[in-house]
Amino acid sequence: MLEMSHSDDIENESCKLAPNSDDSVVVPTGHEKLEIKYTPNDNKRKTSTCVLKTHIPYGILTISLFQILCYVTFDENFRKLLRFEPKKLTQAWRFVTYMLLHEDWIHLLLNVLMQTLFAYFLELRHCRVYVVVLYFTGGITAVLGASCFHPDLVIGASGGVYTLLISNISDIFMNFESIRYKVYRGLCILIIVVSDIVYNVIHFHVKKDPVISWETHIVGGTSGLFLGLVFYRKEVQKARLRKLSLFWLGLTLYLILLISLVVVVVQIKKCTPVSAMLREYVYFC
């Protein structure tokens, strides 16, 4: 679904040149490079040894496997210690551990599939560590946003998934000149978002429980849009000034979003009685 450009400097491809080559040319064949050596004496072509490295999103795959393990092994009492609860904002680990829990197998497998797919294509172009950091940062911001609007418990990795999904828009914007199939990537993002909206509407009318946290999706996606400008690299090195401008723009917008959410959460905690925290919020007092 997400097509990425294959530049010569992709870190996951490497070739070992044959020794004493007089002249050579690189012939790209999909995901690999083939070195062909020309020998002036006999005009014979000899192929060198090419070493292909399979690209695997180890970071997100490790997280996904751990999420599956949590679903299989954790009992209800342990899940209560990890889920996000608006009344327990001082227990900071809940801002991350809620992403490890899921309601059922469909919820789990859908998130695992989507996040692995998005991470795979993003890591082809950008640093693996940055993609993982963006995933968790977006998830933390997403549940913080949910706690501002919806007084309820939250589980699931959808905030991080939407962060990865919408961060593709930042990637396309920053590297518009060099990205291949950008129109198809944009259409895929649009189709996924629209499909999710339709599913949420149907779910709301057919099966009201469990409630889908649309706030987590929206805030996670917004975080991905801003953080993508911060973490992702611009391939055209000549546009260094533009990259720097986009970095500070993304960082400023994200910090405004984060600080705004924190202010709202503090105000809610100040004005809402603990007994009413899971039923309704009081924003002004």
pLDDT score of 149: 83
pLDDT score of 10: 41
**Measured between alpha carbons, how far is 40 from 272 in angstroms, rounded to an integer?**
83
pLDDT score of 44: 43
In one letter, which amino acid is 30? G
Single pTM value for the model = 0.75
Q: What pLDDT, in 10s, does the model give residues 181-232?
A: 778 888 888 898 888 888 878 877 777 666 778 889 999 999 999 999 999 8
**Regions in the chain scoring below 70 on pLDDT:** 1-55, 208-210, 235-239, 276-279
pLDDT score of 8: 43
- Nearest CA-CA partner of 10 in 53, 47, 63: 53
pLDDT score of 214: 85
What architecture is the 58-276 domain classified under in CATH? Up-down Bundle (1.20)
pLDDT score of 45: 42
- Could you give the angle at which helices 214-231 and 240-271 cross, rounded to 10 degrees? 150
pLDDT score of 152: 79
**Measured between alpha carbons, how far is 282 from 270 in angstroms, rounded to an integer?**
9
- Listed by start position, the domains of the chain span 13-52, 58-276
Helix intervals (H) in the chain: 58-73, 76-82, 94-97, 105-123, 128-149, 158-174, 182-206, 214-231, 240-271
pLDDT score of 236: 62
CA distances from 141 to 30, 150, 206, 218, 257 (A): 38, 14, 29, 10, 9
CA distances from 272 to 49, 86, 91, 173, 282 (A): 68, 11, 18, 41, 5
